[in-house]
Amino acid sequence: MRPNYTKIYHDMLKLEHPDKLKDPKIKELLKKLNTTEDVLNFNEKIFTQSKESQRDNQKLKTYDKKTMLRLLEYQHKHGFSTSYMSKKYKISRTTIAKWKKTFEEDLEKITADK
């Protein structure tokens, strides 16, 4: 069972930043927290972090299968290198290579369908 990110973020904002809950854009984004990617993007937009905090938090990130496949599909579609994807999304090259190996068959099906 997945956590209810909408409820979690709503409660966090209510306690720490009630003024942000009045913004219609934030309300709209709050309703669309379905994937790990959505949560990460929302978190970046709402909370500013120091570079040290970003570096430390990067070590703890996890991605669901859907998000991993979307990133790999995006990489394949645009012909980006693993190094480029690593820098853009702050994911180690080793991790991306493991994803490619793990989801090789799934990725072939996705790219063959398009």
Determine the pLDDT at residue 1.
73
Determine the pLDDT at residue 90.
84
Q: Could you give the CA distance from residue 110 to residue 82 in angstroms, rounded to a whole number?
A: 19
pLDDT in tens, the chain (114 residues): 778 889 998 998 999 889 988 989 888 888 888 887 888 788 878 877 666 666 666 666 778 888 899 999 999 999 999 999 998 888 899 999 999 999 999 888 887 876
Contacts of 38 (CB under 8 A, 6+ apart): 5, 32
- Structure-token pair, residue 43: 């978190």
Contact 82, 93 (CB under 8 A): yes
